[in-house]
Amino acid sequence: MTDAATTAPHLGPAVQDLHTAGITACRGAFTPQWADAMREDVETAFAEARGRKDGAVGRGPHRYYVEIHPEQLRGFVDLVDHPWVRAVSEAVLGPDYRIVELGFDIPLAGAVNQPWHRDFPMPDVTRDERRLTSLAFNLTAVDTREDMGPFEIAPGTQWDDDARFGHRMFPPRDAYPRYEELAERKYPRRGDISARSALTVHRGTANRSSDSRPVLVLGVDAPGAGNDAQHDMAVTREYWASLPGRVRAHLHCPVVEKLTPIVQKHTIEGLVMGDA
- What would the pLDDT profile of 166-220 be if each residue is shown by its tens digit? 999 999 999 999 999 999 999 999 999 999 999 999 999 999 999 999 999 999 9
3-state SS string over 108-142? CCCCCCCCCECCCCCCHHHHHHCCCCEEEEEEECC
DSSP H or E run through 87 = helix 83-93
| Structural domain spans, the chain | 4-266
8 Å CB contact between 110 and 147: no
- Widest pairwise Cα distance in the chain: 53
Whole-number pLDDT of residue 275 = 56
- Whether 276 has a pLDDT exceeding 50, the answer reads no
Q: What are phi and psi of 55, to 5 degrees?
A: -80, -25
**Pairing outcome for strands 255-256 and 184-185:** unpaired
Tell me the one-letter amino acid at 272.
V
| Domain 4-266, second-level architecture | Sandwich (2.60)
Alpha carbon distances (Å) from 190 to 16, 208, 243: 24, 20, 25
- How much is the mean pLDDT over the chain? 93
Whole-number pLDDT of residue 161 = 95
Q: Is 66 helix (H, G, I), strand (E, B) or coil?
A: strand
Q: Is 264 helix (H, G, I), strand (E, B) or coil?
A: coil
Task: Give the residue among 216, 162, 188, 207 at the shortest CA–CA distance from 40.
Answer: 216
CA distance 104 to 38: 11
| pTM assigned to the model | 0.93
